[in-house]
Amino acid sequence: MLRSLFTLCTLSGVILLSGCKETKSEAWYKQHPDETYAVYTQCLEDGEASDNCEFAHRAALMFAQEGQPGVKEKFEAIFQQEAEKRNAVTQ
């Protein structure tokens, strides 16, 4: 009985942990603008509030303020769209 309970707990733990997404660091997102854009836009659509979303948000802010041409405009557009959505809701 104890053995089967231990096996069940072990298998449950493995299944739960295998479903977790890998968390990337803020520094990683700041070095990968395309991945940052993809993750951040997905987070906005899903309303997710994970560490990945927070780190992608911080990197997206950096790209919108200091990014290279092309990259900067892409991230500025995201924040502009979000501001417009907030304004539409509050009016």
Asked if the model's pLDDT at residue 7 lies above 80, the reply is no
Q: Whole domain around residue 58: which residue ranges? A: 23-90
Query: What pLDDT, on a 0 to 100 scale, did the predictor assign at position 18?
Result: 46
Is 31 a residue whose pLDDT tops 60? Answer: yes
Identify the CA nearest to 59 among candidates 81, 38, 80: 38
Task: Tell me, yes or no, whether 2 lies in a domain.
Answer: no
Domain count across the chain: 1
Question: Mean pLDDT across the stretch 61-77?
Answer: 92
Asked whether residue 11 is assigned to any structural domain, the reply reads: no
Q: What is the largest CA-CA distance in the chain?
A: 64
- On whether residue 12 sits in a domain, the answer given is no
Residue 5 lies in a domain: no
- At 14, the pLDDT band (50, 70, 90 cuts) reads very low
Q: Tell me the average pLDDT across 58-75.
A: 93
Tell me, yes or no, whether 76 lies in a domain.
yes
